[in-house]
Every structure is written in structure tokens, then in C-alpha cells.
Amino acid sequence: MSAAPRIVVTGMGWITPLGNDIDTVWNRMMASDSGMAPITRFDARTFPTTFAAEVREPSIAPFVQDLSVHATAGLNSMFALGAAAQAWKMAGFAKTRPADARRVGLYLGAGEGVLDTINFFETNMASWDAATQRCDGRRWIEAAAGRLSATKEIEQEPNMPLAHIARELGIKGPAFNCLTACAASTQAIGEAYSIIQRGDADVMVAGGTHTMIHPLGVTGFNRLTALSTFKGDPTKASRPFAIDRDGFVMGEGSGMIVLETLEHALARGARPIAEVAGYGSSADAFRITDIQPEGRGAAAAMLQALAQAGIDPHQLREDGRAPIDYISAHGTGTKENDSIETVAVKRVFGELAPKIPMSSIKGMMGHLIAAAGAVEFMTCVLAIQRGMLPPTINHARPDPELDLDYVPNRARSAPVDICLSNSFGFGGQNDTVVVRRFKD
């Protein structure tokens, strides 16, 4: 049996609450900056949570050739187009497109589009018959015709970002979308890696996009008690791994990468910027909104990814360093997640766990839900390239029960060759990707 092909990263792009280009976002993370501010998308003053990490002034104009083609694009599609166009350009495909578009695929972890909630509820009320306590279908459709755009309603479907990207970039190969909650875009990257490995594509654009900063999204997570309800400065609201953490802050945006076989990249003169070394996925088979308390599912995903990468989690490297150099934590800032992720990392790495720096960028960027994992994967690639570890900000009050190295408050210089990126989603979905420095 022939050896599996090496899969490399040749392009990256993102649209985030900290900015819309690689250097701006990275520099703000290195400065421990925060994208949290009062919500502007709707009047949230009476909600338990009044702040989020929004993408400011979103626009696809800089990224697409013909705006009219994407006239109905919702925010999640706009974010995806911007991030994918940047990754495509970095990979060198903006000028010289792939020879065979059917050998290029897409795998996204994209969330549902934003509902037109105000018009939806107004339409519902217009068709409600108080006497019968029923909705009159004919009146509903008549009212909807004046309030709701049929094409806009299609944009609620999670696969619409994929359709917009395929149209813009001319991609005609395998096309998939998964919506596995907060693990979606890490799963998308891992599955895209697997598709290339088994020979079904030479190139895959992979990542995620999402926004839930609307009344239903905020209401839902408030009712789950997952969102921070901090009453002070919004930039201090997200406090992963701190003893006073009280939930995550909603973020939005997109992260996209271009993956391809090393052979394909070199043949066209592309420069690999990192290599995907392993992917692991598991299910907790536990409660819908709770993580398995001993971290067994999360640990299983990490162990599978490490095994694929040929890394022994209990063995120091020849130079005396820990098995890996950095863990991008899921690190939401909820009491349960941060505690159990810490337990899971200890389960995997044993006595070596305290030697591995682990941080959460969600304190600066918020939780991008389905898009979070892709943005965090990109952060790992940049940590390898630039020899810096992003910080876990707002770590003023450590939790004595969480005793790993969370890179508190300030970025840190360090040699970085191998990273592990974790994502865990509601429903018990666990996904992990190992990425390492590309070496000839």
C-alpha cells in the first residue's frame, strides 16, 4: 500500500471581530486586545447579555468580482466569501486557477443564516387569529409577500455560504457542509484533509462561518446560561480558565484555509505554510449540552489525532521538549468546559501536561460558534510561523483547580513546531486537528 500523501496548507483568510486581514488580527491578539463591545445589530439593552464581538461594517465589495451575483448573501455568506477569497489569493489561485476545477472541493462548517426575525414575527402576528388561536395560512403568505424576500429566506440554509464560494471561485469538486455546533469548522478541516488523503480531491477549501448575534441567538444561549452576563466593561467579560468565569461572549465571522497535497502544491510552485499531521473525532454519547465529566470523549479525539501524526503524548522529544508545543484550547469561559478540557488534556498527556502551553483566543475574539475552530487552527499556523503564543486574557484570578499553563494575559515568545487545536460542540461532538511546521 502506498504511503498517504502529505497534506499542506497553502492559503488562509479570515473575517473576525478583530479585523479582516492576517496581520491586523494577529497584531491585536499579540497586544491582548479585545473585540467585545455593546451589541449594535439590534437593541439588546433589556437582554441579560448586552454585548458581543461583532464584525464591524461587513462588506464583500473588496473580495468579489461581481456584487450582483451575491446580492442576496446573508452575513454568514458575506463572511465566508471574504475569508475564502483571501485564502484563495494567498494560495496563488486568484491569478492561476486550478487546471481541473472538479479536483477542487469545499468543506465548510457553516451555521444557519440570520433569520429576518423582526419581519418574521410581524408577519406571524398579522396572520394570527386570536379567536381560534391559529395562524391563517392564506393571510400568512399574503403578509409574507410584503415583508419577506423568498431569496433572502433561502440564505437561512447552512449550505448557502458554500454555494456562494463555489460560484465565486469556480469550484466544482466535492462539496459538503457540516453543522456540528461549535466543533463544525474543525471537523470541516479534518474531513477535507481526509478527502484529499483518500484521493477524491487535490485541493480543498475548508473552514467555517457563522453569526448568531440576533435576538433568537442571544435568547437561546441566555436560556442555556452559557453566555456571560458580566455587568462591567465588555472587554473583561470573557475570562477563560479564570475562577470568576461566567460564560462565553458571542462572536461572529469566518476562517478559511486552502489544503492540498504536497505534490500538487510543489508542482504549481506554491509555498506550503504548514502541514496537517492528524485529525481525530469522537462523540461523548452523554448529555446534549454537557461535556462528559471525565473528558473521555475530548481525550479520545486528541489521542486519535496524535496517533495519526505519529506523536506519543507521553514521550519527550529528542531535544527535551514536550510532545507538542502549543494547544489551542476550546476554552469557552464556561465553568464546565474549561474544567473538563483541563481534565481531558491531563488524561492525554499525563505528567507532561503542565509543560504544554494552552490558551484560548475566545477571550479576545469571542466565540465564533461554527467558525471558531477554523480561526483557532489559523492561529496555530501563525504561532508556528512567528514563534509567538497568543494569550488567554482576563486571567486576573486563576482557578486553583485549573493548574495548567494557560499563557495568562500576555503573548509569549516560544519555539513552536507542533500544535493541537481542540473544538467541542453541543451534542457531545469532539474534534481535534494536529498541525506542524512544514519541512521538506
Closest to 18 in 3D by CA, of 178, 190, 238, 230: 238
Are 124 and 164 contained in the same domain?
Answer: no
Quick: pLDDT tens for 348-399: 999 999 999 999 999 999 999 999 999 999 999 999 999 999 999 999 999 9
**241 in a structural domain:** yes
Catalytic residues: 182, 330, 367
Structurally, the chain folds into a number of domains equal to 2
**84 in a structural domain:** yes
Are 127 and 53 contained in the same domain?
Answer: no
Q: What is the layout of strands, in order, in the sheet containing 7-15?
A: 175-178, 104-110, 203-211, 252-261, 7-15, 274-283, 429-436, 418-425, 326-328, 358-359
Rounded to the nearest integer, the mean pLDDT of the chain is 92
User: Residue 360 is part of a domain; what is its CATH number?
Assistant: 3.40.47.10
**89 in a structural domain:** yes
The partner residues of 389 in beta bridges, in order of sequence, read 412
- How confident is the prediction along the chain (440 residues), in pLDDT tens digits per residue? 567 899 999 999 999 999 999 999 999 999 999 999 999 999 999 999 999 999 998 999 999 989 998 988 889 999 999 999 999 999 999 888 888 999 999 999 998 876 554 555 555 556 666 677 676 666 656 666 655 555 666 777 889 999 999 999 999 999 999 999 999 999 999 999 999 999 999 999 999 999 999 998 999 999 999 999 999 999 999 999 999 999 999 999 999 999 999 999 999 999 999 999 999 999 999 988 888 889 999 999 999 999 999 999 999 999 999 999 999 999 999 999 999 999 999 999 999 999 999 999 999 999 999 999 999 999 999 999 999 999 999 999 999 999 999 999 999 999 999 999 999 998 899 999 999 999 98
Residue 140 is predicted with a pLDDT of: 58
Quick: pLDDT tens for 23-38: 999 999 999 999 999 9
The CB density around residue 392, as the number of other CB atoms within 10 Å, is 30
Are 27 and 121 contained in the same domain?
Answer: no
Are 424 and 315 contained in the same domain?
Answer: yes
Are 98 and 172 contained in the same domain?
Answer: yes
Are 122 and 101 contained in the same domain?
Answer: no
Between CA 270 and CA 262 the distance in angstroms is 9
Are 133 and 202 contained in the same domain?
Answer: no
Domain boundary among 151, 175, 201: 151
Between CA 73 and CA 156 the distance in angstroms is 10
Distance of CA 437 to the CA centre of its chain: 21
Residue 143 is predicted with a pLDDT of: 61
Length of the chain counted residue by residue = 440
Are 269 and 124 contained in the same domain?
Answer: no
Q: 46 near 122, Cβ under 8 Å? A: no
C-alpha cell, 356: 504544554
**99 in a structural domain:** yes
Angle between helices 137-147 and 117-126 (to 10 degrees): 140
**1 in a structural domain:** no
Q: 403 near 422, Cβ under 8 Å? A: no
Q: 384 near 293, Cβ under 8 Å? A: no
Between CA 235 and CA 28 the distance in angstroms is 13
Between CA 258 and CA 106 the distance in angstroms is 9
C-alpha cell, 415: 519555539
**346 in a structural domain:** yes
Distance of CA 364 to the CA centre of its chain: 14
The set of residues, in sequence order, having a beta carbon less than 8 Å from that of 397 and lying 6+ positions away, is: 239, 242, 243, 244
Q: Range of 262's domain?
A: 7-111+157-436
**127 in a structural domain:** yes
Are 376 and 230 contained in the same domain?
Answer: yes
Greatest alpha-carbon pair distance for the chain in Å reads: 78
Are 133 and 84 contained in the same domain?
Answer: no
Between CA 58 and CA 253 the distance in angstroms is 10
The set of residues, in sequence order, having a beta carbon less than 8 Å from that of 106 and lying 6+ positions away, is: 162, 165, 166, 171, 173, 174, 175, 176, 204, 205, 206
**2 in a structural domain:** no
Are 124 and 201 contained in the same domain?
Answer: no
Distance of CA 45 to the CA centre of its chain: 27
The pTM score is 0.93
Residue 287 is predicted with a pLDDT of: 86
Domain boundary among 132, 151, 170: 151
Are 16 and 134 contained in the same domain?
Answer: no
Q: For strand 358-359 and strand 326-328, is the pairing parallel, antiparallel, or unpaired?
A: parallel
